[in-house]
Structure 1
Amino acid sequence: MKKYKYLLSLIVLTLSFMACGDQQPAFNSDSTTTESSSSGAMAKESKGSRDNTIRVLTPEASGVEVYSNVDASIDASNASEGYVMVKYTGSAAKVRMLIETPAGNTYNYLMDLDGNYDVYPLSEGSGTYKIGVYENLHDDQYAAAFTQSVSVTLKDEYSMFLYPNAYVDFNANSKAVKKGQELAASANNDIEVVQNVYHYITKNVKYDYDKAETVQSGYIPNVDSTLATNTGICFDYASLMGAMLRSQGIPTRLEIGYAGTEYHAWISVYTKETGWIDKIIQFDGTDWTLMDPTLGSYASNSQVKKTLDDTTYYQLKYKY
């Protein structure tokens, strides 16, 4: 009988973005949604001076620094780039991977069981990360199959937010990436790319209330599916925008926490012109004041202002 060093009951992170905040859809007369949403209109715009070549970084399990046992492997060869590759090779029917950060926060992932490496970000700076693979025994009871501490010195604070990862998953052939390239064609700088992508998503992707009420724990966004259906929950909005911007070389964090009392997802981006643009976006042509594509897809100016007036409304918990 297999022996485990210890058992633990994991508090499973349930990504049930039911309402994605306590705001209700309101297509009021003061809404900022006035531009054409057709891709044809975008295509007619003149070419901008910024190079919109697709720039997709590919995570690698290089095999230089690998920790493993019969159940799991952790490839930390490129930890300085802000990610590790982890795969499960055991026989459990349900497996979770936990990353404890230097600050003591724990990131909880439901793993794929295909025997291949998946990429996970090291998103809270340099230091020692504890990485563990846990097999489900029953209900919410898990046992450690393999754990390993990895000392990380990050090359910079941006690279991990350029790579695809478990929650912002894309490659050079993704339709979302190609759409991002199209939307960036008219831009003269990174700010205009963010503006174009943000406006496209908020004007074309509709909030899916049925999905919000039925989404299961462990749900992972599919950026091409969101683009094809033009529907999603806040997790989908943030992941799609993240894929489009990262593939244009713009560091983008998918952020998860609380908007009011509701569990929610939004993004922050980094540009050389502005540094990190945090929390939520409502773009009026001069000032970035909010960075929440879900809210931007339906909220009026008055709703956005009400949200902005509450400086404690957005409480960040996790960065991906």
Structure 2
Amino acid sequence: MVSYGNGVVAIDASHTDEGYVMIRYDGAVENVKLQITDPAGIVYTYNLGDGYETFPLTGGTGSYSLVVYENVTGDQYATAFSQSLEATISNEYGPYLYPNQYVNFKADANTVAKGSDLAEDASSDLEVVVNVYNFVTQNIKYDNDKAQTVKSGYLPVVDEILNSGKGICFDYAAVMAVMLRSQGIPTRLEVGYAGTAYHAWVSVHLDDLGWVNGVIEFDGTQWKLMDPTFAANNSENAMKDFIGDGSNYQTKLIY
């Protein structure tokens, strides 16, 4: 086991080759944040809860900085622990297959079971994507009240969303990502901008096509599925023509 810590913070870095780290805060402060800076200098900020939590290393192989901050007063924080990591990621899909704080699931989750049901008769990964998209958009309604009252730091609990049949955009994306990841389909939950509009989308890796960006996307009004007929076309150039060059998409964070 590769571990770091100081009695207040514990870091399990045994699985960096699979693209994730696990972190636990054991101190007494209520408001605690984690910042992970990836090799490109992109900073991810998380709230830390109870017990070990999993965080993806989506920046790939390279140097990461991990800093845990304790709230002192107001919006002021002090460093509780910091650690630099050199990650050599052997499984490039690992960060997009395992659970993490944003795409959180266990093997016995109802959402995983439903994903398995939706994949059972599918003849391809693309068909699984289509089945998951159709199920989620037809069975989960947008929760306007939640959208108006949700607080910063909110994290989806996918089984609660599935059971209630309602949720906000983040909930939709998390449920889709859990269903696809649990079926062995690498899935990125991405947020950023399409033009000037705040935007969310789900990108998947398909064996015949590689990464398909924005296969399931939210444009601020509704969820959309990229035309599934693209799967019949294995021409890389044709795929690029269909998807575009990606210049309109500005990915800010990947989970």
Please report the TM-score for the alignment, with normalisation by the length of structure 1: 0.70
* Matched residue SS, 1:104: coil
Deviations 1:129-181 (A, max 9, x none): 00111001122211110000000000132111100000000011100000001
| 1:110 aligned onto 2:47 | yes
- Residues 1:153 and 1:309: Cα distance change in structure 2 (over 3 Å): closer
Which range is displaced more, 165-174 or 259-268?
A: 259-268
In structure 2, the residue matched to 1:143 is 78
Length, aligned pairs only = 236
Deviations 1:181-240 (A, max 9, x none): 111111011111111111111222121121111110000011111111121111111100
Partner AA of 1:223 in structure 2: V
Q: 2:35 aligns with which of 80, 85, 98?
A: 98
Richer in helix (by share): 2
Distance in 2 separating the partners of 1:175 and 1:131: 33
Aligned 1:12-23 pairs, distance under 5 A: none
- Shift of the alpha carbon at 1:310? 11
Distance in 2 separating the partners of 1:272 and 1:170: 24
Q: 2:141 aligns with which of 179, 201, 206?
A: 206
Aligned 1:290-305 pairs, distance under 5 A: none
Partner AA of 1:128 in structure 2: S
- Residues 1:309 and 1:119: Cα distance change in structure 2 (over 3 Å): closer
Partner AA of 2:43 in structure 1: T
Q: 1:255 aligns with which of 185, 190, 212?
A: 190
* Matched residue SS, 1:210: helix
In structure 2, the residue matched to 1:162 is 97
- Residues 1:280 and 1:249: Cα distance change in structure 2 (over 3 Å): closer
Long gaps (5+) in structure 1: 1-63, 289-307
In structure 2, the residue matched to 1:74 is 11
Q: 2:23 aligns with which of 80, 86, 89?
A: 86
- Residues 1:155 and 1:182: Cα distance change in structure 2 (over 3 Å): same
Distance in 2 separating the partners of 1:143 and 1:77: 27
- Residues 1:219 and 1:264: Cα distance change in structure 2 (over 3 Å): farther
Contact 1:279–1:314 (CA<8 Å) still a contact in 2?
Answer: no
In structure 1, the residue matched to 2:166 is 231
Partner AA of 1:211 in structure 2: K
* Matched residue SS, 1:228: helix
Richer in strand (by share): 2
